[in-house]
Structure 1
Amino acid sequence: MKHMIPLLLCGVLPLATLAQASPSVSQEKESSQVVTTTLQALEQQQMKQQAQAWGLSVEEWERYEQLKQGRRGLLSPGLDPLTMLGIEARTDEERRHYAELTVKQDYQRVEAELAFQREVNDAWPRLFPGILPVQDDESRLALFVRAECPPCDRKLTQLLATNRPLDIYLVGSGGKDEAVRAWAKKHNIPADKVKSRRITLNHDGGKWLKYGNGLMPVVLQQEGNGWQPAN
């Protein structure tokens, strides 16, 4: 019997070792589950934030993600969520919903851009009196026009055809953004060029009286000795 005790102990030790190892394996599994749960919560939170940024529900965002991975995503990979959901709308009501969301957000964007442009325009005479704003280093033209002015319309068409960077100043707008928007819409000013600031829409703010020499329309160009007529 005395000789059997070491043998029994030898058989018990591995079991004890396994018993000690079991909590470690269990802890690793629990830690992995905690990490997975945390990541899932973060993904859900991120999805919710992205959906809210576009005025969408989480369910609508999930459908957008599905469409992005499908045929529409391959055909049109650069579509924004509202456009993709609108194109792939399942009902007329859905299509109308996304169209209205798009219009509302575009309106807010244009309002913000015009407000910022107005602040930029106001900053120029405040910081650099007597100098007409220069938008960038490329040779831009400044076009001063009025509403209901056929010669202005002809000059606008001519300049748009050249594809040169253009800063348009609407004389007589009274500082009203709605007047500028209505004029731009009536004259089919390319929205993509306005968005990229290839074309800017501005209130005159008295600049025409200072630089226009009574001409209407008048086109100015930056030269070595300042802004000069380019008609």
Structure 2
Amino acid sequence: MKLTPIALVLGLGMAPLFPATAALQTEQSQQGNTASVSTTLQALEEAQSKKSAQEWGLTTEEWQRYQQLSKGRRGILSPGLDPITTLGIEARSEEERRHYADLSVKQDFQRVEAELAFQREVNAAWVRVYPGILPVRSAGDAGQGNGRLALFVRADCGTPCETKVASLLTSQRLLDIYLVGSEGKDEAVRAWAKKLAIPVERVKAKTLTLNHDRGQWIKFGQGRMPVVLQQGENGWQVTAY
């Protein structure tokens, strides 16, 4: 069949419409998929923010502000700072600062209570499972408060450390001894305790504890050896004991 000029022109003009329509549909489909993925990611981020906020006792708005602060100057000055402390330091009013201070104290109280409860169970387990072995703690808060003293010594310290240990044992003060340089080896602590005749009954009664130093000496000891710390109004301080 011979095509007329009009039919030929119409045919040529309509031919590109099919590829163009298919390309448009593909583009619209891709845009729809991208929007769907974006919406899903946003929903996941919102759910995670809500969960994180609840874990710290914060609102979603407070959590978002904490994240913003962590990405700014405060995050550089104090990397790794917890949300409540961050918000408290960057409080915008006295009322807000007081709110975060109260929240911090309440959560610290709950944390300490839980840790002490577990430590009591660990202490009981030592007596139950290994009654003839001195329990050695891997770490702890120096001095633990409640009038306790924290003594930091080294196994190779010699007479100065031995004299300080003897003096504190005689005073009958509640005492937490930290062996610096023990490298987490319980036997090293036990050998040192045996050498200095640390009273086993006091360790079992928890009036005296044996501990590995986990950086507390560097943080609080001011480079002194031996050194005794006690908690005061301004935190842990070197004492005259």
Q: Does the alignment reach a TM-score above 0.5?
A: yes
Partner of 2:20: 18
Preserved CA contact (<8 Å) 2:134 2:200: no
Give the C-alpha shift of residue 107 in structure 1.
0.6
Partner of 1:52: 54
DSSP 3-state at the match of 2:54: helix
CA 1:163 to 1:82, structure 2 compared with 1: closer, same or farther past 3 Å?
Answer: farther
Q: How large is the RMSD of aligned CA atoms in angstroms?
A: 3.6
Partner of 2:126: 124
Could you tell me which amino acid in structure 1 is paired with residue 133 of structure 2? I
Structure 1's consecutive aligned runs of 4 or more residues displaced over 4 angstroms after TM superposition are 217-221
Aligned equivalents of 1:60, 1:35: Cα separation in 2: 27
DSSP 3-state at the match of 2:99: helix
Partner of 1:79: 81
Report how many aligned residue pairs link the two structures.
164
Could you tell me which amino acid in structure 2 is paired with residue 20 of structure 1? A
Aligned equivalents of 2:82, 2:201: Cα separation in 1: 42
CA 1:220 to 1:124, structure 2 compared with 1: closer, same or farther past 3 Å?
Answer: closer
Aligned equivalents of 1:114, 1:220: Cα separation in 2: 16
Partner of 1:211: 201
Structure 2 stretches of 5 or more lacking a match?
156-172, 177-183, 185-197, 212-241
Could you tell me which amino acid in structure 2 is paired with residue 211 of structure 1? E
Give the C-alpha shift of residue 29 in structure 1.
1.0
Give the C-alpha shift of residue 66 in structure 1.
1.7
Aligned equivalents of 1:49, 1:11: Cα separation in 2: 59
After TM superposition, list the pairs within 5 Å mapping 1:25-174 onto structure 2.
Answer: 25-136=27-138, 156=149, 159-160=151-152, 162=153
CA 1:163 to 1:56, structure 2 compared with 1: closer, same or farther past 3 Å?
Answer: farther
Give the C-alpha shift of residue 126 in structure 1.
1.7
Aligned equivalents of 1:119, 1:37: Cα separation in 2: 48
Aligned equivalents of 2:18, 2:37: Cα separation in 1: 30
Aligned equivalents of 1:118, 1:218: Cα separation in 2: 14
Give the C-alpha shift of residue 90 in structure 1.
1.0
Preserved CA contact (<8 Å) 2:69 2:75: yes
CA 1:209 to 1:18, structure 2 compared with 1: closer, same or farther past 3 Å?
Answer: same
Could you tell me which amino acid in structure 2 is paired with residue 95 of structure 1? R
Could you tell me which amino acid in structure 1 is paired with residue 201 of structure 2? Y
Aligned equivalents of 1:220, 1:21: Cα separation in 2: 75
Q: Deviations over 1:45-95 (max 9, x none)?
A: 111111111111011111112222222222222321111111111111100
TM-score, scaled relative to structure 2: 0.57
In percent, how many aligned pairs have the same letter? 51
Aligned equivalents of 1:210, 1:17: Cα separation in 2: 89
TM-score, scaled relative to structure 1: 0.60
Give the C-alpha shift of residue 14 in structure 1.
0.6
Give the C-alpha shift of residue 220 in structure 1.
7.6
CA 1:101 to 1:27, structure 2 compared with 1: closer, same or farther past 3 Å?
Answer: same
Preserved CA contact (<8 Å) 2:137 2:210: no
Could you tell me which amino acid in structure 1 is paired with residue 65 of structure 2? R
Partner of 1:2: 3
Give the C-alpha shift of residue 134 in structure 1.
3.0
After TM superposition, list the pairs within 5 Å mapping 1:189-228 onto structure 2.
Answer: 211-212=201-202
Could you tell me which amino acid in structure 1 is paired with residue 47 of structure 2? Q
Could you tell me which amino acid in structure 2 is paired with residue 76 of structure 1? S
